[in-house]
Chain A
Amino acid sequence: MSTALPTGVSRAACTLDKVKRSVLREREDTITFSNHSLHDQLIDVYEECSLYRTSAKPVTAITLSIAKDFVESLPHAFRTPEITGEIDGNVNLEWFVHRRRILSVSVSENGLLYWAALIGEEDPRGTCRFYGEPPNTLLYWIRRVYVNA
């Protein structure tokens, strides 16, 4: 007789638990991969835009940190955006399929997110503040970039 089963726990429950742990592990792997890409890109932006740049505001550690927090707050299934520095010191996040299927988010040092999407003939845009949770509007438009692409 097996002793692996805790008292009062069925084989089905154990199997379910194994599946759940496997899914969680896979999710952590995805996060690790995603964060690696995120961190590499943030380092590139820092090296290119924070140390020396004429006729432009440097990207600060604060802005990079807000951009990082925003990307990490997104659902894990979302793709990591392409991250670049902007001439005004903001950090640009781009979700891109092609030139008429794109969402740009410009992260400012004071936590404002300026965004504009171009999806076919639709051209929504707006401004919102990042409070630690991704704004629903942006979640919607990030999804729309990839739906039926």
Chain B
Amino acid sequence: MLDPDQIPPIDADEQLARFVVSRSEFRRNDNTPKPQLFLPYRYVELSVTRRREASEDEIWEVGRAVATQRDKKLYGRSDICASNCRVGPLVVVPKPISGNPNHSDIEGFPSDKADQMSLASKLAAEAGEVIPPPNSD
């Protein structure tokens, strides 16, 4: 994982992981993410985890922690390139938190729900298929 004392800015080609903790966030027939995966709730930013300098095990550890914290099942993760998150008003900024120095936010969502849905559709269109966690059945 990144050194919490030396967090670098996010490069355009960095991969960011968004964890899937609800069945309604992806299509089970083809594992494509639904816009709902990228829809902020209550806030106007969306949490993602940088894959930079993180092993697969470390990324999944973060995913399991996110699911546990929300009392949810971890269905997987969808990766998206940082450059594809820079849509309209959206920007990606490093926001390291305790236990996850790779934590970042996609910021700049408008407060209007229809506008949020539109941006979420564009993010979902560019994000990778949902990858199930290791050893999932």
Contact = CB atoms under 8 A, between A and B. Distances in A.
Given A48-B23, A84-B36, A100 B125 contact: yes
B24 A48 contact: yes
A105 to B, nearest CB: 9
Contacts of A94: 34
B32 A127 contact: no
Contacts of A49: 24
Contact of A116 (B27, B71, B117): B117
Nearest to B33: A99
A56 interface: yes
Contacts, number: 66
A94 B32 CA distance: 13
B125 A88 contact: no
Interface in B53-90: 70-72
Q: Which of B22, B115, B117 has the most CB of A within 10 A?
A: B117
Interface of A: 48-49, 54-56, 82, 84-88, 92, 94, 96, 99-100, 102, 104, 106, 114-118, 123, 125-127
Q: How large is the interface on B (under 10, 10 to 19, 20 to 34, 35 or more residues)?
A: 20 to 34
Contacts of B118: 116, 118, 123, 125
A125 B118 CA distance: 7
Interface in B16-71: 22-24, 27, 32, 34-36, 39, 41, 70-71
Contact of B70 (A54, A86, A88, A116): A54
Given A82-B27, A123-B118, A127-B113, 6 more contacts: A85-B24, A86-B24, A100-B125, A104-B121, A118-B121, A126-B114
